[in-house]
Amino acid sequence: MTVHWEVDGRAPTPWTRLYVLGMRARRDKQAFEGEEHTLAKAREAQRQGDAPPTRLTRCVRRVATAGEGGQRHGMTTWTVRPRSTAPRARVLYVHGGGYVHPLTPDYWRLVRALSGRSAAAEVVVPAYPLAPDATVDDALPRLLDLAREAAADDLPLVLMGDSAGGALVLVLARCLRDEGGPQADRVVALSPWLDPTLDDDAVRDLEATDPMLAESGLRAAARWWSGRRPPTDPLVDPLRDDLDGLPPIHLHIGDRDILRPAVDALADRVRGSHGGPGERVDLRVHEVPAMFHVWMTRAIPEAARTRRRLAAGLGELGGRARPGRAPGG
């Protein structure tokens, strides 16, 4: 029942201030403004498809597209590894996009950092089925098969995801726990979407400061993803079930993000701040004030710092044996 909350109090760099002004000028958040417009933007992105590993990524890393026709458990899946060293850890990375947007080129910047020399991780990146054509009941079993496979050997496993993917990795960790088999060693959620209902007054207060997300479109995307389930179902809302016995959870969040209030609520819950017993889980929150949603994939100085921190954490984890196993066997 421990919560460690760290704040990087440095002011945003001038470049990042200009970058955010550009986001506002482009009206980036219109991708999630209103149900009809959100669907139209999602359909446009889905027609373009998932962005495969960039040319730079293929030049500096070993990249494999798994399985016959690139399919692994029914999903196009890329595996990115260091070129000159054996992997010391494995990351199953579940991308975000509100359950409706595919992989974008920015994600490969983060993947390169995770598979670089300091982290030396193998990064597995699935392109899972998206709403509204697919629901959680279509995608989760495939992701769970991939997670079981990733946890089956001696490499330490990190379940990592951003936004909607940040919720999915928590659900995956809970499913692995409930099965009683091999589990992840850590969960890392980047700007996670922990409350699909966005039912908090603080969300509305933050929307004006958020240059990327709008609550109306996100609520619609949550309904599409839920399918026949309510958005409050534990397979959609990771906070509707207990977290006891999960591996350490690391959350990265900024305060210009409408998904921030649910992180505060999770920390209160783990502490038992509202009279509850608390949760038996190690929660670590890394806050970077003035940062926007999933900033760590972008080409800004604050993102580079966060990527270095994530890589260092993987490098430290990769130096350990998995519980009950000797190093290398």
Instruction: Fill in the amino acid letter for 269.
Output: R
150-170 confidence digits (pLDDT tens): 999 999 999 999 999 999 999
Domain membership of residue 325 (yes or no) is no
Domain membership of residue 221 (yes or no) is yes
What's the confidence (pLDDT) of residue 271?
86
What's the confidence (pLDDT) of residue 73?
85
Give the total number of structural domains in the chain: 1
Got the DSSP string for 6-17?
EE--PPPPHHHH
| Alpha helices in 199-287, H assignment, sequence order | 201-207, 215-226, 260-271
pLDDT at residue 220 is higher than 80: yes
Domain membership of residue 329 (yes or no) is no
Domain membership of residue 240 (yes or no) is yes
Residues 272 and 268: their CA atoms lie apart, in Å, by 6
Instruction: Fill in the amino acid letter for 324.
Output: G
Q: Please, are residues 77 and 125 in contact by the beta-carbon 8 Å criterion? A: yes
Owner of token pair 């290398």 = 328
| Cα torsion angle, 67, 96, 254, 173, sign | negative
| Cα torsion angle, 269, 212, 100, 301, sign | negative
Domain membership of residue 327 (yes or no) is no
> How many residues appear in the chain?
329
Of 36-45, 211-220, 234-243, 245-254, minimum mean pLDDT range: 234-243
Domain membership of residue 40 (yes or no) is yes
pLDDT (average), residues 283-300: 96
- At residue 318 the predicted structure's pLDDT band, cuts being 50, 70 and 90, is confident
Q: pLDDT > 90: what percent of the chain?
A: 85
Domain membership of residue 281 (yes or no) is yes
pLDDT at residue 273 is higher than 80: no
What's the confidence (pLDDT) of residue 278?
58
Got the DSSP string for 243-263?
-TTPPPEEEEEESS-TTHHHH
Q: In terms of pLDDT, which residue wins out, 67 or 286? A: 286
pLDDT at residue 311 is higher than 70: yes
3-state secondary structure of 4: strand
Domain that includes residue 58, residue range: 2-318
Q: pLDDT > 70: what percent of the chain?
A: 93
- Around 31, how many Cα atoms within 13 Å sit in the side-chain half-sphere? 20
Residues 263 and 270: their CA atoms lie apart, in Å, by 11
Q: Please, are residues 131 and 65 in contact by the beta-carbon 8 Å criterion? A: no
What's the confidence (pLDDT) of residue 327?
35
pTM for the whole thing?
0.94
Average pLDDT, the chain: 93
- Around 79, how many Cα atoms within 13 Å sit in the side-chain half-sphere? 14
73-92 confidence digits (pLDDT tens): 889 999 999 999 999 999 99
> For 275, left (φ over 0), alpha (ψ -120 to 50), or beta?
left
Domain membership of residue 252 (yes or no) is yes
The CATH number for 162's domain is 3.40.50.1820
Q: Please, are residues 159 and 95 in contact by the beta-carbon 8 Å criterion? A: no
pLDDT at residue 110 is higher than 80: yes
